[in-house]
Amino acid sequence: MADVEDIKVQRDRIVSELTRMGFKPAASDSNYVFFGGIENPHALWQGLLERGVLIRDVGIPGHLRVTAGTEPETTAFLKALEALLDGQVSAPA
């Protein structure tokens, strides 16, 4: 299990990368990153799931939530997200 400092690093990495990709992450002091600006959250969620990455659809239109974990987990999420965006599956709105 990742320690608190490692999780903070990964959370900040996720926020930075989501912002770079055009999403709108909310400020967070926890291990969750809530992000919006998603045209079709269900399509993005499904695409990530098909690539072995499970995040949460919390039922708020245009938003999803990802948990900051280990470096390999963060890398897997970001790579899967980039692949989906390259294929234009629910790019940022």
What residue ranges do the domains of the chain occupy?
4-86
How high is the pLDDT of residue 87?
A: 79
Spell out the per-residue pLDDT of the chain, length 93, in tens.
569 999 999 999 999 999 999 999 999 999 999 999 999 999 999 999 999 999 999 999 999 999 999 999 999 999 999 999 987 665 555
Let me know how long the chain is: 93
How high is the pLDDT of residue 75?
A: 98
pTM for this entry? 0.89
Contact 21, 15 (CB under 8 A): no
Topology adopted by domain 4-86 = Aspartate Aminotransferase, domain 1 (3.90.1150)
How high is the pLDDT of residue 63?
A: 98
Contact 10, 68 (CB under 8 A): yes
